Structure 1
């Protein structure tokens, strides 16, 4: 491919001292995470573990009147104060439930570094910090092992002997307060009521045990070794008491054994895992910013999303280290955040990370059934839209935190896994079951109106009108309706594929009784049947049917094209004043659906330049105060990163309505200068590689993951289509201007 496939840049450099945890070098292995930052006095390793949670419920969530029917009664009576006190206020009034950070390791060198160089090697997932002191220098290397679950640190240098210190979170106020305490809630960790950590050490090991005000106990254990003059190594584990009666002793033995193995020997298997992961797909672009950030997003995904590990909450495995609860308590938000966090992984050919989320949701079916019964008085399943690790409600704005509709968005992860993997057993045994059980809950509250069309009793659209009474929209909001049309439409398609004829007929009949999406005279998707979007808003929830649900297609007919154009035009007129970072990423995906490469790229470039920290983390707001938007905080959440990568992938490859399109939304500069991608995964059942240069597609290579038949948009003429039929494992390559059998 010559100059198109240039050397992949997998280094992320941060010059100078890193002074904040949310600008640190991130490491992770799905279960544990580490942020490396500081100047040598100390150099900090902020540690996290995905399943560290205080899951004590707020008392209101277990009260007898914590029910959907009670919420309906209060909404219909217009009793806003009672709505807030029964379903909302306790989210910020109580510190629990909440995600917990684990603590810190600190290496002190007795002096601040005069100069610091920080580099994250995304090939090997190793953080490198070089510190220059007035009397010497050292290099500190660190990684969270991809296979054995432990953390490794190596210090090599002269004139700078390190001293290790363990630092537990400030549950009893031991740590110093940082100067900047801005947070979503500013609830101090001390409010959780935990005792001080208990520290201990042996000849080789140091550890602390943190007991809590509930069943959880956890520990950080570190083995220290002076390997030779000028070289020190540390191995650490984060263990908790759900790992057996002798959990602490087991962790000590693991750390001691790994310490004997050593940093470099353990690095071999760690590197092999990341080599395999990085080879799953790639994108090569003439724009270094886009290519670099796409790779960083894949790195973050590989670090935080793993099969068999807890799924990513708002901050993944990098919970805030600042003496207060993490933003929004680090919870699981199903009105956007969890879904967006897994958007890009499917097409990026990283199915294992998405499978971890799907398995987690499947295993929560007992809790989802209980919540559907207790809260919604319904059969089937439904999870709280703002929830803990174990699937329990946290409360919060009830029109979203307790929306009946968000469960349908969770279904899309099952749909994506089945379509991208082609696993027919998964379709039969899990996807169809999860969809059907979700439908059972929806049908409890779907009732025909005067026109015979099915409507929900309550309806909303995240996060329109915030938590005011006006947020209860006339049913059905386009958000709720798009999800309902998606749910029952996909159920019909699945039943047909599985040969379930009676089920197919039932789902088709229900689908036919759903209203059409509400569209105003300007051709814009409305918020609800009687309200259009009239102000800038962060959540493009009314446009769900364009993306990610893709119920509307720009290529299908003129009416749908008019709706997509009108909706995007409406968003343009309202401006970006009340957007957050993920709004730009989502908007880029909408432009990609329109085939507008310039618009898609502009919004991605804006996102990466202005809403991401120096380490790549999405910080939500216009934290540099550039005037792009009205919000100027910096709450870190991962979903914007993943949504941006997903939008970029939609620019280069689209797979909708049985049609595969190569480079459907590319800016002119990229077309001229050349770009390519390798092994992106299509939900039509093929791996796709392709290249373009001088505005011409040079080749398209297809590898069938299952028996497939689809239409390929002719790479030389976008008005024509080529019918492709492949058996599982077959390959086909189109080189301008013809196909070549492989």
Structure 2
């Protein structure tokens, strides 16, 4: 075993040569079909964070279903202006034993009202039936280009530019030039039927009350303008040309008005001066994606998992970009079926937004992951207003189910108005700081945000006669649905995990900033809260309330994963508690699990170093709960008993939890100690990864060959203390590093 320490300042090329994965020699990663998808949620996804499209075929036409991330109906919720709208009101009604008034105020309105909601843009249609049969459809995630080849020799290429927000298409070898049309969403009734789906929380677009927008066609240009609710409007501009015989080349642009992310120049004006041709834009686009994939790579002997990781991280790069909103339920791929998206396409902060950003940190995509904390910072003022209005205290607790502007939407009262939502959001400020070691971010955003979340928990909690703090009323997503017994008089493990995580993060951040009085206060507050409730089954939902039925949401185990407040490294007793909790959940069966349950479980299994179980859970997720284009459809699509839920509402959090689990199998650092290949299946004889990121801003690369770790390389990005389990001696080693220092361990 040899250890080398190097200083390399021309790191780009030199460092890559230390590792065995080469971008130019990768296997195919992406999607390959023999025909075009004929269902919108199986379409080929393209995106650049602010704009997305799904490529599929409908009625003999190639369809590019368009979306824009900030396109929302943001009408206010009138019911929430009621003087009864408060946490105290819910507490009183629960103790009265009747939630009917609460349902009328909070829950029922989401069944009656179709907004606020995410809304679709429309679709570009190109007739292709005259081209005959399709030979192949391919999405190469390394270039983010979709290629369609017809048996007649025609070829189509499509991409959504990563650099200038313009979508491009080119069809070559055409027997004749087809028409290009734009189909607007049908906002007014015209006597035709809307596609009927069983997805929850959906409504016909005609219920929004808009007048149909105006489509203007002139020469080879289409402009569509649509007014939404209030100040929100959007515009689509499509233009095309025939630069050569048998070739159709076009581009499109989408802009909004009236949102935080709206452009100063509208689509039609922008496109008038847009002269970039297809090849020039394609070269810029593929260069961006080349740099994206240079951030991290991996190779696994299990191609299914390897390809799925690349698909998930492709979607991550396509859906989360600076100066755009974060990933909502469907990101930039809103429903193309005449309806609002499942669950309004909103920001669910009791699981969905959080899981969506899990893989960003250790995959070394901190710029993309910072989009989430950027948005949380942007909605801070609205969150504080909501906290004062609804909870009646100062501090910060973001609505659990929120609009683009972070305002409450409603839904099941126990979760849409959850009393500790912010704890799980605090975790993402903590992760962004710990993985980046960015002291400026810590001082200017992370700690100020976390401090207000902790201050809220000071103010909302009450002490009993023994000086122990509790919440006036507690819940645990989504235990007992929205029934009366979904509210708990004693603080649940879910709420307690959020609270304890918030105080822990606030303490550590204050210490790092030298704020001794703040840190001492947060420590005292933390000591006043009870320990986690447990019994012979493991972690319970609440004191004296064990999990007794199959359930999709692993909320009672939040302290273990993702928070790491409980970890197997803390000794045999804690290890037994964690493993008992996982076993009990599995023992109750998967009848009421969703796809994301399996991918979240795989993260937990990796945390207890059970690589075989983690891989098994991920394979079930991929084969049973994902559509052919890799989208997570929540229900068991195989109908083979993996869940009694067999519906298919598309949401993305399960996908990103899948990528996170694969990364957890390869690298862990949540305890402060770096471990390489901690949870790989016993059957794997080889694997490798490049530049996965560990807490402390360390970039780690490793090779596993012939069933053994062969080589580990760590680069210290910012300097600081490195703590790593030496893979050759299994001993924990600590050393101080300098920025740019590279340390190698190998088996020689």
**TM-score range, shorter-chain basis?**
over 0.9
Instruction: Indicate the residue corresponding to 1:723 in structure 2.
Output: 734
Residue 470 of structure 1 is aligned with which of 466, 478, 485? 485
Name the counterpart of 1:735. 746
Please name the residue that 2:619 is paired with. 605
Contact 2:422 2:498 in 1 (8 A): no
Q: Which runs of 5+ in 1 are unaligned?
A: 738-742
Which of 133, 150, 173 is the aligned partner of 1:131? Answer: 150
Q: Is residue 590 from structure 1 mapped to residue 604 from structure 2 by the alignment? A: yes
User: Which runs of structure 2 are paired with 1:253-402 in the superposition (5 Å)?
Assistant: 253-258=269-274, 260-402=275-417
Contact 2:21 2:298 survives alignment (8 Å): no
1:48 to 2:48 alignment: no
Give the Cα–Cα distance (whole angstroms) in 2 for the partners of residues 400 and 237 of structure 1.
37
SS of the residue 2:243 aligns to: strand
Q: Which piece of structure 1 moves more, 137-146 or 307-316? A: 137-146
Q: How big is each residue's C-alpha offset from its partner over 1:688-729, in whole Å with a ceiling of 9 and x where there is no partner?
A: 0001112211010000022221331121243x2222321111
Structure 2 residue 268 is the aligned partner of structure 1 residue 252: yes
- Where 1:609 maps in the other structure, the secondary structure is helix
Native 8 Å contact 1:474 1:528 kept in 2: no
Distance change (3 Å), C-alpha of 1:337 and 1:596: same
SS at match of 1:155: strand
**How far has the Cα of 1:4 moved from its partner?**
8.0
- 1:621 and 2:635 aligned: yes
Q: Which has the higher contact order (CA 8 A, sep 6+)?
A: 2
**CA contact under 8 A between 2:296 and 2:363: conserved in structure 1?**
yes
Task: Give CA-to-partner distance per residue, 1:600-620, whole Å, 9 cap, x none.
Answer: 110011111111111111111
Contact 2:672 2:695 in 1 (8 A): no
State the shift of 1:666 in Å: 0.8
Task: Name the CA distance, whole Å, in 2 between partners of 1:68 and 1:23.
Answer: 41
Tell me which residue corresponds to 2:249.
Answer: 233
CA shift, 1:57, in A, is 2.0
Matched residue SS, 1:546 = coil
Do the aligned residues in 1 keep the contact of 2:156 with 2:169 (CA within 8 Å)?
Answer: yes
Tell me if 1:156 matches 2:172.
Answer: yes
Which of 543, 547, 562 aligns to 2:576? It is 562
**What is the aligned partner in structure 1 of residue 204 from structure 2?**
188
TM-score, length basis structure 2: 0.94
Superposed CA offset, 1:536-590 (max 9, x none): 1000000001110011111221111111111111112111110000000010011
8 Å CA contact 1:41, 1:112 repeated in 2: no
Counting matched residue pairs gives: 728
Q: Distance in 2 between matches of 1:12 and 1:584?
A: 22
In structure 2, do the counterparts of structure 1 residues 308 and 247 end up closer, same or farther at CA, with 3 Å as the change threshold? closer
Cα distance change, pair 583–175 in 1 and its aligned pair in 2 (3 A):
farther
The structural deviation recorded for 1:131 is: 2.8
Whether 1:201 aligns to 2:240 is no
Q: What is the CA deviation profile of residues 142-197 of structure 1, one whole-angstrom value per residue up to 9, with x for unaligned ones?
A: 11111111111111123242111111111114696465533213411100011012
The CA deviation at 1:450 is 3.2
Using the TM superposition, give the Cα deviation of residue 101 of structure 1 relative to its aligned residue in structure 2, in angstroms. Answer: 0.7
CA distance in structure 1 between the partners assigned to 2:68 and 2:174 by the alignment:
33
The residue correspondences of 1:85-96 to structure 2 (distance < 5 A) are 85-96=104-115
Contact residue 177 and residue 322 of structure 1 kept, 8 A: no
Contact 1:41–1:110 under 8 Å retained in 2: yes
Tell me which residue corresponds to 2:102.
Answer: 83
Paired residue secondary structure (1:261): coil
1:214 Cα shift? Answer: 2.3
- 1:208-246 C-alpha deviation (Å, 9 max, x unpaired): 1112242222121101211111111111111222499x9
Q: Single out whichever of 183-192 and 28-37 deviates more from structure 2.
A: 183-192
- Match in the other structure for 1:740: none
Offset at residue 511 of structure 1 (A): 0.9
8 Å Cα contact 2:145-2:157 kept in structure 1: yes
Conserved 8 A contact 2:236-2:254:
yes
Which residue pairs with 1:647 in the alignment? 661
What is the CA–CA distance in structure 2 between the aligned matches of 1:648 and 1:175, rounded to whole Å? 49
The aligned counterpart of 2:15 is none
Alignment partners' CA distance in 2, 1:677 and 1:62:
53
Distance 1:176 1:287, change over 3 A: farther
Note if contact 1:474-1:530 (Cα within 8 Å) is conserved in structure 2. no
Greater Cα shift, 558-567 or 531-540: 558-567
Given that residues 161 and 168 in structure 2 are in contact (C-alpha distance below 8 angstroms), is that contact kept between their aligned partners in structure 1? yes
SS at 1:723 equivalent = strand
Q: 1:39-58, CA deviations, whole angstroms, 9 ceiling, x for partnerless residues?
A: 68200000000000001123
Match in the other structure for 1:29: 48
Q: Which residue does the alignment assign to 2:13?
A: none
Distance in structure 2 (CA, Å) of the matches to 1:543 and 1:21: 35
Residue in 2 aligned with 1:216? 232
> Secondary structure of the residue that 1:303 maps to in structure 2?
helix
Residue 637 (1) aligns with residue 651 (2): yes
Aligned residue number for residue 713 of structure 1: 725
TM-score (structure 1 length as normaliser): 0.95
- Paired with 2:404 and 2:328, the residues of 1 have a C-alpha distance of 8
CA distance in 2, matches of 1:486, 1:366: 22
2: CA distance, partners of 1:21 / 1:39: 9
For 2:605 and 2:446, locate their aligned partners in 1 and report how far apart those are by CA, in whole Å.
30
Secondary structure of 2:249's aligned partner: strand
Provide closer, same or farther for how the CA distance between residues 304 and 391 of structure 1 changes in structure 2, counting only shifts above 3 A. Answer: same
**Alignment check: 8 A CA contact 1:422 1:705 kept:** no
Q: Distance in 2 between matches of 1:726 and 1:213?
A: 55
Match of 1:513 among 528, 537, 553: 528
Equivalence for 1:168: 184
**What is the CA distance between 1:3 and its match in structure 2?**
8.8
CA separation in 2, counterparts of 1:51 and 1:600?
A: 36
What secondary structure does 2:101 align onto? Answer: helix
Q: Could you say what secondary structure the match of 1:649 adopts?
A: helix
Work out whether residues 238 and 252 of structure 2, in 8 Å CA contact, stay in contact via their aligned partners in 1: yes
| Contact 1:32 1:50 survives alignment (8 Å) | yes
Quick one: structure 1 residues 2 and 248, their matched pair in 2 at CA, closer, same or farther if it must change by over 3 Å?
closer
What residue number does 2:689 align with? Answer: 677
Change (3 A) 1:356 1:398: same
